[in-house]
Structure 1
Amino acid sequence: MQIVIAGGGFAGCAAALQAARMGAKVILAERTDMLCGTGAVGGIMYNNGRYTAAGEMTAMGGGQLFFIIDQNIRHRNVEFFGQAHASLFDVAKTGAEIERTLRRAGVDIRLKTRIISVHHLWKNEGKQRLMAVKDQYGAVIEGDAFIDATGTGGPPSKCRGYGRGCVCCILRCPVFGGRVSLCDLCGIEEFSAKSQGKEGAISGSCSLMKDSLAPQIVKSLDEQGVAIIDIPKDLIEDHLALKACRQYALPEYATHIVLLDTGHAKMMAPWFPLEKLRKIPGLEWARYEDPYAGGEGNSVRLTASVLREDTLLVRGMENLFCAGEKTGNFVGHTEAIVTGVLAGYNAVRKAMGKSLWAYPQQTACGDAIRWIGQQMETEAGRREKYTFSGSVLFDRMKEKGLYTTDMGQIRQRVGMAGGENIFALMP
């Protein structure tokens, strides 16, 4: 069996590791020179309902990436506006360790490789089966099943059209080329999130160099993991409505600078004019780490999702699955891992000629994937952004009694639903 995955963010990495554990030969094509995508500047885990989702994945036997992240946690049980029991991981060390883990598992990681065209697409009675693709070097890559984990950020034309132009973010499209979607290459219709008449959404955070901050701020970050700074009224920048990460769109994020220690200083704002930022006490020498033009804007995301089944099989395709933000307006690292593991699992099952599996509806993961899939069928649903850590999905988790930090309760729920160690068992 050969499984081909486009995109090496958290979703693609989770899919690749799961498929490799099941005995498949896995090719992971990542267009940049490193893995983890936006996870390379993210750094937040286990906040709010993400704790529950990660616990379910561990109980199901699909928690390998969470284990790696746990080995690189800088701070645990950090609390800030609207967020409880968050863990902050070292973004540099985590990505490097994930790459080593994938290579040890036998994954053929092809960095600086973009899949740019379909080489063989078989069509029959309204269904399509992807047989082979071609990368920018002209190599033909055949597969029994494929996974689109290319995300929804970029290319630069999207950032120019819906945002504030290319701001040199971690995606680095001008250097490595813009994102190319496997689904789009197969003729699958993609859609954007829409809010206040605008398409897409803006990445919700920036990174500042810790060395550019005042000593008292660095001390707070090192000791507590968080530093919260009041913004003078005449310097406030309110761009909450544009954020992809709705859990960080509370009013407090407009009136405070919230910094988190992920190795860098993660600033919970999509952008903040540098000339204003440097007028805030303690930030007089502040410099952006990501994006480099964080004083002007940030990357545009949520412009290329697709309709899919609860199994993450792309509608209209026989052997193409999706993961990460491709599955809908589903935002976050935990969310990417949850979809990636399932996509990798079902890609192998498809290649083996076995029936596909979906998360049980009694679980937070299963309820989220089904409900978001239903929401993506409607224009109103596409206006929302969904995450286990806040906004409408977290509210739903609490209403349905799915949110808990009791690992015993989580394991019991998964076991009663028939999902215990499902990802660790050979199909």
Structure 2
Amino acid sequence: MEKTVVIAGGGWGGCAAACSARRAGARAVLLERTDMLLGTGLVGGIMQNNGRLAAALEMEALGAGELFALTDRCARHRNVSFPSHAHATLYDVGLVPGEVLRHLRSLGVEVVFQARVSGVEREGDCLQAVLCSDGRRFPADAFVDATGTAGPMANCQRYGNGCAMCVLRCPSFGGRVSLTGLCGVAEWVGEKAGGGPGAMSGSCKLHKGSLSRALQEKLERDGVAVIPLPPPLREDHLAQKACQQYAQASYRDNLVLLDTGHAKLMTPTFPLEKLRQVPGFENARYEDPYAGGKGNSLRFFAMAPRDDALRVEGVENLYCAGEKAGLLVGHTEAIVTGTLAGHNAARQLAGRPPLVLPRALAVGEAIAYVREQMATGEGRRKKYTFSGSVLWERLGQLGLGSVDCGEIAERVARTGLTGVFAE
């Protein structure tokens, strides 16, 4: 009988885990709490900026380039530069979710919507089944926790400025419930740079049609617009951001807009009355979150203690992916961890030892380094991404920051792992 991997959470990490488990020969069942896939990927859209390109090229050489190729096919803009970021691809947030769903189904992944995990059945160190809030039961041989770290509403209300009315839609579909937490595993909590739990999402989205025609045309032509702000209109949210790669003066002194279908505003919040004083923004309206003039979603409240194979400590057959795997920010980071988690779940069912990506690769270094940093108080106050800040700087110091395709293919070949995820 075909063995089953159940993945809880349909963000980029969960989708990558489902693809990877299915490609490795397991039956894959993907449970998504809401009625759409991709989670924050529904309003994100940035790929390949800085070291994310190196990570994507490594994953392609490792045999897991399909989701990166899919976002490329849905790109609105390629090779875009904006402050401190180069060669970015901006995908269309309106097109990608449907493309991902069709791809999953073409592989034979079973996608179940409005399936909010709320309970577990466990025997000893092994998880037997997950239970949904509507009474459905999903037994499996291995599991992947990709439930994320944002929400539920109580966290945004207690540590933020209330429910931000974001794309996660906790009031309608129920708040996030951690599969790892349901198994009784104590989770890591990230911290703001200035103290306190969690971190605020790093951007919000404006309805592009609410901007001036000149701004719309610039965005659609160039993919990016940088509008200087006079000092009285500046807002300093740099210390609040989950996305530390954008916690720079350029993002305080300017409005930085990216075209991902929405006009992506690279600041967690900006008061609407101030925003409408900027030429071109007189009719500006927030698209996500609707409370973007005041608040944004809070993240990094529940990360799984895990090893470098992404197996959760204390549960023999549970793996983790996406933000659940640590203080990793971004779609590329979620795809990397999801791919490894799904692959290792399938390897376990086939009786094979887990794969640990070597630290000679940028993706392996990221997974191991973040695990080490999460064990320290100082490390939990930082965020890690291939596109900037702490991790990108470290990769450069280790000589792992090259974005040369041939050099990266040779690097992967030296590890003996070329095409490993395609097995």
| Alpha-carbon displacement from aligned partner over 1:30-70 (angstroms, at most 9, x marks no partner) | 01110000001000000000000000000000111001111
State how 1:25-424 maps to structure 2 within 5 Å: 25-118=27-120, 120-123=121-124, 128-194=125-191, 195-424=193-422
1:25 shift after superposition? 1.1
Q: Distance in 2 between matches of 1:26 and 1:110?
A: 11
CA contact (8 A) 1:152 1:326 kept: yes
Aligned with 1:92: secondary structure?
A: coil
Matched residue SS, 1:223: helix
Question: Which amino acid in the other structure matches residue 131 of structure 1?
Answer: Q
- Tell me the amino acid that sits aligned with residue 424 of structure 1: A
- Return the letter of the residue paired with 1:204: G
SS of the counterpart of 1:198? coil
Structure 2 residue ranges without an equivalent (≥5): none
**Residues in 1 aligned to 2:190 and 2:181: alpha-carbon distance in whole angstroms:** 17
Tell me how large the CA RMSD over aligned residues is. Answer: 0.7
> 2:392 and 2:319 mapped to 1: Cα distance?
25
1:11 alignment counterpart: 13
Amino acid at match of 1:142: P
Q: Identity over the aligned pairs, expressed in percent?
A: 54
Offset from partner CA, 1:397-424 (integer Å, 9 cap, x none) = 1101101110000000000011100001
List gaps (5 residues or longer) in structure 1.
Answer: none
1:23 Cα deviation after fit: 2.1
- 1:155 alignment partner AA: P
Q: Distance in 1 between matches of 2:12 and 2:26?
A: 19
Q: Which runs of 4+ in 1 moved over 2 A?
A: none
Q: What TM-score, normalized to structure 1?
A: 0.97
The letter of the residue matching 1:176 is F
Matched to 1:96, the amino acid is: G
Does the CA-based 8 Å contact 1:360-1:419 persist in structure 2? no
Q: TM-score, with normalisation over the residues of structure 2?
A: 0.98
Q: Deviation string for 1:251-302 (max 9, x for gaps)?
A: 1101110000001100000011111110111100001110011111100001
Q: Which amino acid aligns with 2:81?
A: E
1:219 Cα offset (Å): 1.1
Provide the C-alpha distance between the structure 1 equivalents of 2:366 and 2:190, rounded to a whole number of angstroms.
Answer: 17
CA–CA distance in 1 between the matches of 2:239 and 2:298?
A: 13
State the 1:371 CA deviation: 0.8
Q: Offset at 1:370?
A: 0.6
State how far apart, in whole Å, the 2-side matches of 1:419 and 1:361 are. Answer: 13
User: Do 1:200 and 1:303's aligned partners in 2 also have CA atoms closer than 8 Å?
Assistant: yes
Task: Tell me if structure 1 keeps the 8 A contact 2:118–2:132.
Answer: yes
CA distance in 2, matches of 1:150, 1:380: 25
Cα distance, 1:21 vs. partner? 1.4
Q: CA deviation at 1:164?
A: 0.9
For 1:360, give the aligned amino acid: P
> Across the two proteins, how many residue pairs are aligned to each other?
420
